[in-house]
Structure 1
Amino acid sequence: MNLIETGIQKKLIRIDTENGSITYIHQDVRRNYNNPEEKVQAETFLKLILHYNYPVVQIKQFVSVKKFSSTGEADIIVYEDKEHKKPYIVVECKSSDVSEFQFTEAEKQGCDYAVSEGAKFVWTAKGNKDSYFEIPTVRPAERVIIPDIPQFGVTSLAPYKYVKGGIKQDSSGNIQEPLVEYQKQKFFELETVTESELVKVFTQAHQVLWGGKRDESRAFDEFDKLIFCKIWDEKYKLNDKNKFVERNEGEPYQFQIFNNETAAQLLERIERLYEVGKEKDPEVFKENINLTAEEVREVVKYLQRINLNETDLDSKGKAFETFTGSYFRGSFGAFFTPRTIVSFIVESLPIDNESRVLDTSCGSGGFLLYALDKVRQQANSIYPKHKTDTKQALSHYNHWHDFAEKKLYGIEINEQIARIAKMNMIIHDDGHTNVIAKDGLLDETELQRINAEFKHNSFDFIITNPPFGSVVKQSMSAYLGLYKLGTKDTDWLNIKSTIESTVRESQNTEILFLEKCYKFLCPGGFLAIVIPDGILTNGSMQYVRDHLEDTFRIVAVVSMPQTAFTSNGAGVKSSVLFLRKHKVKTTEKISAQKQNIKAELRTNNKYVATIEKWEKEKNTEIKKLEVAANKKNPDATKKEIAEQIKDEKTKLQAAFTDKVNLLKDEMTEKYFATKQQTLDDYQIFMAIADDIDYDATGRKTGKNELPQIGKELYKFIQHIEQTED
C-alpha cells in the first residue's frame, strides 16, 4: 500500500477517479488530481501527518499570504497551534517536471512567505527532490539549509535525516517504528523507487551538472562518479581509517545533507567516499571529481533519499539503461541493441552459472546484464526459499554472484561507454571489474595486460552486436595481418603461380569480429552475433562465408525486420547468426576436403591446360592481325600497327575473357555441387521475425515473435548438444 492509499484508508483524502479530483477531507477542499503538481501536494500533505506526525488540525492548505505589496498563496502551512495563529512551517509544492530554475524560484518564494508569516522553517518539494530551510529570527534573516524539518513535538533539529534502520513504510502502508531517534526526532530509512521515478531523478540530477555549464559527456562522467559514491555509501560505512566497514543499525548515511554544514564540507565528505572507492575499483574511474560544492549539493538532494541497492534490480536496470541509452544516442550517435533482441539471444542459449560468457563489443552492458539476470532466475528456481531461509540465501547469492564476478566479461572500445557498462554492472551488483575499455580486436596479450582472463579458446558463449560499417585500415591498425579475414588469398582459379596471402588495405570491423570471436571461443562454444545481411548474401562476401563454414557449425540464422534498428539510429537490414565453434581437427578436415575438391576439379577439367590453349589461340589470332597490318602498310611502326589493330585485338581479348569467366562460373558451380555432396550434412535452424514488438519509430506493437522463435531455437540447440557431441 502506497502513501496515497494509506491516506485514503485513514480518511485524510478522497479521490474521485471518474472526474479526476482529490478532496482534502479535513478542509473539505476539492482539487484537480490530474494536475501533476497536485499529486506532489497530496503526498507532501500526507507525509506531514503520517511521517512527521503533525495533527491534521494544525495543517492548512492554500493559504492566502501577503508578500510585500502583493498577495500570494502558500500551498501548505503547518501551525504550532490549532487556531492557526502561529505559523511554523511553510511548504511549497511543485511538479516533478519543473526545471532547476523554477525549483530555485519556488525555494525563494517559500522563504519569502515564511518571512512574511513569521514561520521558522520552509520545505520545498517536487516529489523527487526536497530542500529544507531554517529562517533565523534575528537579522539578517538569510535562509539556512538544513537536512529536514522538525517532526511534531520536537524542538531541536536533527543532525541528518537518513540512517540505517530509520522510518520506513511497509507494503501494508504502516509506518515502521525507527530503531533510533535524536531528541525525539525520528530518522528515515532510504526509499526504494519505481523505474519511471528513477529515470526522472537520473535525468534531472544530470541536468544540474549539464544545463549549459559544461560539455554533456563531461557532465555525464561527473554524474556517474556521484552515483558510484552513492552506491558505495549505501553498502558500507567509511571509518576514521578510510576503510569501508559494515554500517550498524542507527548509523547515518554519508551521502546526504547534514545540519550546520557548508556545501564545501559536504563535497569533502563525498570526495572521501570517492577516493576510497577508487582504490577498491581503480578501473571504474581514474579522474577526480570536478564539480563545484554547490553542484554536488544539488545532486545529493535528488539522490540522498533513494536506496539504489534495494530498489528492484529490473526496475533500476531498465531505468539506468533508459537514461544512458537516450543520452548516448544523442551524444555519440551510437546505438545499442534493443532489449527484445538481447532477451531473445540470451534466452535461446543454454547459459548457466558455470558458463564463461563474453561480449566483445559490450556497449552499455545489455547482453551481460541479461545473462546475469538469466543466472539469477536460475538461482531463484534452485533456491526457492532464499528470501526466508538463511542457508538458501547464501547459496542463492553465491550462485549468481560468483558468475558475475568470475564468469562474465565485456570489452568496449569507447572508454566513456565502458564506464557506463561498469556502472550498470555495479548497479546490478555486479561483475564490473571484468569490463575493460579496449579495442576488442587487439591481440590477446594486449587485453591480458589489463585482465589475464581474456584468453583465447576459453569462453563458452559470446553474445555480441559489433559495430557495423566501421573500417580497420592496415595503415592505422597493424594487427590486421593477424586475421585470416584481414588478408587476401589467391583465387583457386588463378592459373598463375601461387602467390602468398597479402594483407588487405582495410576490412570491416564486423567481419574481423567474427574471426576474433572464433579465437576467444573454446571448441564447442557458441557465438550469437548480430550481423548485416550483406555478409550472408553478397557475392563479394563469399570468402567470409567460406571461412565460417570451415570454422563453425552454422546453428541458426534468424532474420530481423528492416526496422529492427531504425529507432536506434541505424537502418541496415540485419540477422542474428548462431554459430558453434568446430574442433581444430574438424576445421582441418573441412579445409582439406575443400582443397582436394578444388585440386581434383582443376585436374579433371583440364582447367589450366584449357585456359592456356585459349590464350595461345588468342595470341595466334593477334599475331595474324599484326602480320596482315604489316603487309598492308610495310613502312608502319610497331606503334602504328598496334593502333591499327587495337579494336580487333580488344574484341579478341574480350572474347577470351568471356570464355574464361564462363569456365570459372562452371567450375565454381561444380565446386559448390561437389562440396555439398562431400562435406558432412547437417540441419540449420532458419526463421524470419516480422514483428519484434516495436515499429520503425520505436512504438510498441504489442506483438513479438522472438520469444516463440527463441523457445524453438533453444530446443534445437539442446538437440545439437545431445546428438552431435
Structure 2
Amino acid sequence: MADTKVIVIPEGKICDYIDGKFRNDTPEEYVRQTVEKRLVNEHKYFPEQIRVEYTLQLGSRKPRADIVIFESKDTAQTQENIKIIIECKKETVDARNAKDGVEQLKSYMSACPNCEWGMWTNGRQKEVFRKYVNDKGQIDFMDYNDIPSADGNLEDINRPSRASLKNAYDDNLLFTFKTCHNHIYVNDGMQKQPAFFELLKVIFCKIEDERNIPKPLEFYATSEERSNPDGQLTVKKRISKIFERVKNKKKYRLIFDTNDEIKLSPRSLAYIVSELQKYSLLHTNIDIKGKAYEEIVGANLRGDRGEFFTPRNVMKMVVEMINPQVDEKVLDSSCGTGGFLVTAMTHVMSQLERDFAKELGVPRDKWDSDAENAFQDRVSDMAKVNYFGFDINPDLVKATKMNMVMNNDGSGNILQNNSLLPPHEWTEDFRTSLAESLGIDKSSIRNHSTIGFFDVIVTNPPFGSKIPIKDKDILEQFDLAHVWENDKDSNTWKMTDRLQSSVPPEILFVERCTQLLVPGGRMGIVLPDNILGAPGLGYIREWLIKNHRIIASVDLHVDTFQPRNGTQTSVLFLQKKTKEQKDAEEKSGTMADYNIFMAMVDKVGHDKRGNPIFKRDKEGNEILVPDTSSVLVLGKTGDGSRTVAHEQKRKVEDDQTSDVPPIFAEWKKREGLSW
C-alpha cells in the first residue's frame, strides 16, 4: 500500500458510493449504499445521472429524496427532469408507516411531473410503483416488479431472457433472500424453518429453469400477474410445473418427497418469483452466493448441537492451506451449510479451469458454448465423484445439497449420518449411497478400521461440554475415549482398557476424521484451544503426534465465531502417518523430527458483535483505498463504448486470514511438502 492514495474517514462516517461524500454510518445508510451499488452495477446507470439527498419542492416544504435518477447524465438536474425516485429506510420502518412509508414516496413522485417510477425499500421489503394518469384524469400508481434498467427495456422486468439475467453484486442477493423469506414469514404465517424450506423450493425451481437450456425461461411473474388473483394463480401453475421436474430428478429425491408441493399462497409465490427472476443464480460470483445463502441458512436452521458455522474468510484460509487437488476425494464430516465443501470445490475448479484453458489453447473469456458446456460437465463429474458431506441434521443436509446445487451441482454425496456411530450401525441407505459413490462393496464397510476413504478432510465439528457423548458403543471405537494415565517420571501417557463416562464430541471427531483419511491423507480441522493446551488433555496431543505429522497450527482470534460463540479456537493441520512410518518410528523408539508451521490470526475482520472492522491509520481513523475490483463508468467514447472516468473507493477489512496461506505456501516449499 506504499503507492496507494489513502483517504481518512471520520469516525462514524461512510463514503457514499455515488458522490464520495461522507455520510453518517446508520442502518438506513447501509440500505441506501446497497441500492446505489445495484443501480450502477446491475441496472447500469451512470453515477452522473444519480443524485443523493436531492431537495424537492413540495408546496412550502422542501424534503430531501434519498436517491433520484435523471433521464441521462446530460439532462439538467432539475425537479422536472427526475425519472426515478428511491426512498431507503432502516429495517424497522414498515412500508405502511404513515410518515416514512410508501405514501411519502408517492407524494414525492406526484410532485415531479416527469417522474414515472419510484421504489421504497427497507432492505427487507421492497415496493416499486409506476405512475400513470387514470381514466378520471387522476394520478395513480401501478405495482411493478422492479424499476427499469438504464436501457429502459420493460420487457425484461416482466419476463427476463437468458441474455438479460444479471449477476448479483455485493449484498444484493442477501437483501433479496431476506426480503423473500420475510415476505413468507409475515404473509403466509409460517415459522422460520418452514418459511425457509418453502423459499428453498422456489430457489431450486429457479436453478432448474436456468439449466433448462435452450428452452425459454419459465421462471417469471409479470407485474400484471403479480397484482391480481388470476395472474397469481397463473404464476403458481407455471412454477409448480417446474417443481414437478425438480422432484422427478433422481438426485433431488432425498430432498423432496414425490408428493411434496409448493405450499406458498399464490400471492406470496408471485412476489418471490418476481424478486428472484432477474438474477442468474448459476453465474453469480460464488462468494456472493455463499455469503447470502449461508447467512440466511444460519439465521433459520442453526440448531442446539454446538453448530457454529465457520466464517467464510476462515474457510477460505483453511482450504487454500490444505490445497485439495483435482483428483482427490474431499470430505466434510460435519458439513453444516456446506461452506467448506463449496469453498474446496471452488478452489479446485480454478485449477480445472486453468488446465482446460491450456488444453483448448483458449482463455475462459473466449470459450464458445460447446467449450463452456464441456467444462461444466467436467466440473459436475468431479463434484459427483470427489465431494462428500455428512451431517446428523436432516435440515442441514438439505441446505448443503442446495448450496452445492447452486455451485455446479455436487449434491449427490451429501448424506445424513451420525458420523460418530460405529460403521456397522450406519443406516442401510447411507452405506449403500456411500459405497456406490466410492465404487466399493458396501460389505467392506465393517468397522472403524475399514473406513479410510478420503484424501482431504476440511471440517468444523460440533463442540462443547453441553453435548457430551456417553454411548458405550460409540466410545469403544476410539482410543481417545479411553482413560489415559500419565507417567510423571517419563512424562508420557498410556491408554488403559477403561472407557471414560463421557467425552466431548470434538475429541472423538479428531479420531474419526483420522479413521476416515487414507494413509498420507491430510485434514484441516477447527478445534477448541483446550485440546491443544490443557494439561489434563496431554494424552490427546501425544496420540496426535503418534498418528500424524503435525503440519500447522493457526491460532484464531477469540471473536472468530462471535456474536454467537466466544470459544477460543485454532485450526490444526494434520497428515495421517502411513503404517510404514509408524512401524519405523516404533522400531527406532524415536519420533521423526520435523518443523511445524505456527501462526496467530489477531484480526478476523469483525468484532464480538459480528460488525465488520476496517483498517485504520495511526490516529485510529478508518481509511479508503481505490477499489480495483469495481469498475465504475461515467462517460461514453465517440463509438458509444463506456469509459472509466471515476475512481471508486472502498474500506479495507482488517482481516489477517488472507495473509496466512501465501506465507504457509513458501514454508511448505522449504519443508519439501509436495501438496
Q: TM-score, normalised by structure 1?
A: 0.64
* CA distance in structure 1 between the aligned counterparts of 2:312 and 2:582, rounded to whole angstroms: 34
Q: Which has the larger radius of gyration?
A: 1
2:137 to 114, 117, 132: 117
Distance change (3 Å), C-alpha of 1:502 and 1:712? same
Aligned residue in 2 for 1:284? 255
Aligned residue in 1 for 2:20? none
SS class of match (1:555): strand
2:185 to 193, 210, 218: 210
Amino acid aligned to 1:414: N
Distance change (3 Å), C-alpha of 1:417 and 1:31? farther
Amino acid aligned to 2:662: K
Aligned residue in 1 for 2:633? none
Amino acid aligned to 1:449: T
2:535 to 539, 548, 552: 539
Q: Which has the higher contact order (CA 8 A, sep 6+)?
A: 2
Q: Tell me, yes or no, if structure 1 residue 704 matches structure 2 residue 655.
A: yes
* CA distance in structure 2 between the aligned counterparts of 1:214 and 1:332, rounded to whole angstroms: 24
Contact 1:559 1:575 in 2 (8 A): yes
Matches within 5 A, 1:383-394: 383=357, 385-390=363-368, 393=372
Aligned residue in 2 for 1:94? 119
2:244 to 235, 259, 275: 275
Distance change (3 Å), C-alpha of 1:525 and 1:471? farther
* CA distance in structure 2 between the aligned counterparts of 1:2 and 1:193, rounded to whole angstroms: 8
Contact 1:358 1:410 in 2 (8 A): yes
Contact 2:316 2:343 in 1 (8 A): yes
Aligned residue in 2 for 1:146? none
Aligned residue in 1 for 2:201? 225
* CA distance in structure 2 between the aligned counterparts of 1:114 and 1:15, rounded to whole angstroms: 29
Aligned residue in 1 for 2:412? 433
Contact 1:15 1:22 in 2 (8 A): no
Distance change (3 Å), C-alpha of 1:590 and 1:232? same
Contact 1:60 1:76 in 2 (8 A): no
* CA distance in structure 2 between the aligned counterparts of 1:351 and 1:340, rounded to whole angstroms: 17
* CA distance in structure 1 between the aligned counterparts of 2:40 and 2:659, rounded to whole angstroms: 40
* CA distance in structure 2 between the aligned counterparts of 1:380 and 1:533, rounded to whole angstroms: 38
SS class of match (1:693): coil
Aligned residue in 2 for 1:52? none
Q: When the two structures are aligned, how many residues end up with a matched partner? A: 538
**Residue 517 of structure 1: how far off its partner (Å):** 0.6
Share of identical aligned residues, percent? 25
SS class of match (1:270): helix
**Residue 326 of structure 1: how far off its partner (Å):** 4.3
After superposing the two structures, state which structure 1 stretch, 325-334 or 569-578, moved more: 325-334
Amino acid aligned to 1:712: I
SS class of match (2:567): coil
Provide, for residues 58-84 of structure 1, a one-character-per-residue CA deviation record: whole Å limited to 9, x for no partner.
Answer: 99889xxxxxxx99966658xxxxxx9
Matches within 5 A, 1:47-86: none
Q: Tell me, yes or no, if structure 1 residue 566 matches structure 2 residue 562.
A: yes
Provide, for residues 165-197 of structure 1, a one-character-per-residue CA deviation record: whole Å limited to 9, x for no partner.
Answer: 5xx6xxxxxxxxxxxxxxxxxxxx333332322
Aligned residue in 1 for 2:497? 501
* CA distance in structure 2 between the aligned counterparts of 1:417 and 1:451, rounded to whole angstroms: 18
2:596 to 684, 697, 706: 684
Aligned residue in 2 for 1:367? 340
* CA distance in structure 1 between the aligned counterparts of 2:153 and 2:603, rounded to whole angstroms: 56
Distance change (3 Å), C-alpha of 1:587 and 1:127? farther
* CA distance in structure 2 between the aligned counterparts of 1:414 and 1:440, rounded to whole angstroms: 11
Aligned residue in 1 for 2:319? 346
Q: Tell me, yes or no, if structure 1 residue 513 matches structure 2 residue 486.
A: no
Aligned residue in 2 for 1:164? 161
Provide, for residues 677-715 of structure 1, a one-character-per-residue CA deviation record: whole Å limited to 9, x for no partner.
Answer: x33322222222222333333322434333333223223
**Residue 431 of structure 1: how far off its partner (Å):** 0.8
Distance change (3 Å), C-alpha of 1:191 and 1:23? farther
Amino acid aligned to 1:466: P
**Residue 461 of structure 1: how far off its partner (Å):** 0.9
2:391 to 412, 419, 425: 412
Q: Which runs of 5+ in 2 are unaligned?
A: 1-36, 86-102, 439-444, 446-450, 616-653
**Residue 359 of structure 1: how far off its partner (Å):** 1.0
SS class of match (2:458): strand
Distance change (3 Å), C-alpha of 1:592 and 1:490? farther
**Residue 522 of structure 1: how far off its partner (Å):** 0.8
Distance change (3 Å), C-alpha of 1:164 and 1:4? closer
Aligned residue in 1 for 2:11? none
* CA distance in structure 2 between the aligned counterparts of 1:273 and 1:416, rounded to whole angstroms: 22
SS class of match (2:186): coil
**Residue 532 of structure 1: how far off its partner (Å):** 1.0
Aligned residue in 2 for 1:294? 267
* CA distance in structure 2 between the aligned counterparts of 1:399 and 1:315, rounded to whole angstroms: 23
**Residue 501 of structure 1: how far off its partner (Å):** 1.6
Contact 1:550 1:587 in 2 (8 A): yes
Aligned residue in 1 for 2:172? 197
Distance change (3 Å), C-alpha of 1:114 and 1:411? farther
Contact 1:90 1:121 in 2 (8 A): no
**Residue 526 of structure 1: how far off its partner (Å):** 0.7
Provide, for residues 64-110 of structure 1, a one-character-per-residue CA deviation record: whole Å limited to 9, x for no partner.
Answer: xxxxxx99966658xxxxxx9xxxx995623222765x94xx87x97
Contact 2:145 2:157 in 1 (8 A): no
Distance change (3 Å), C-alpha of 1:127 and 1:429? farther
After superposing the two structures, state which structure 1 stretch, 257-266 or 704-713, moved more: 257-266
**Residue 576 of structure 1: how far off its partner (Å):** 1.1
Matches within 5 A, 1:255-334: 255-257=220-222, 261-280=230-249, 281-286=252-257, 287-328=260-301, 334=307
1:713 to 637, 640, 664: 664
Provide, for residues 207-247 of structure 1, a one-character-per-residue CA deviation record: whole Å limited to 9, x for no partner.
Answer: 011128121111111111111111111221xxxxxxxxx33
Contact 2:555 2:570 in 1 (8 A): yes
Aligned residue in 2 for 1:483? 478
Matches within 5 A, 1:549-588: 549-567=545-563, 569-588=564-583
Contact 2:553 2:572 in 1 (8 A): yes
* CA distance in structure 2 between the aligned counterparts of 1:233 and 1:684, rounded to whole angstroms: 49
**Residue 471 of structure 1: how far off its partner (Å):** 6.1
RMSD: 4.5
**Residue 309 of structure 1: how far off its partner (Å):** 2.1
**Residue 421 of structure 1: how far off its partner (Å):** 1.7
Contact 1:74 1:110 in 2 (8 A): no
Amino acid aligned to 1:190: L
Contact 2:38 2:169 in 1 (8 A): no
* CA distance in structure 1 between the aligned counterparts of 2:327 and 2:565, rounded to whole angstroms: 35
SS class of match (1:507): coil
Q: TM-score, normalised by structure 2?
A: 0.68
* CA distance in structure 1 between the aligned counterparts of 2:471 and 2:141, rounded to whole angstroms: 64
1:522 to 518, 523, 545: 518
**Residue 423 of structure 1: how far off its partner (Å):** 1.4
Q: Tell me, yes or no, if structure 1 residue 449 matches structure 2 residue 427.
A: no
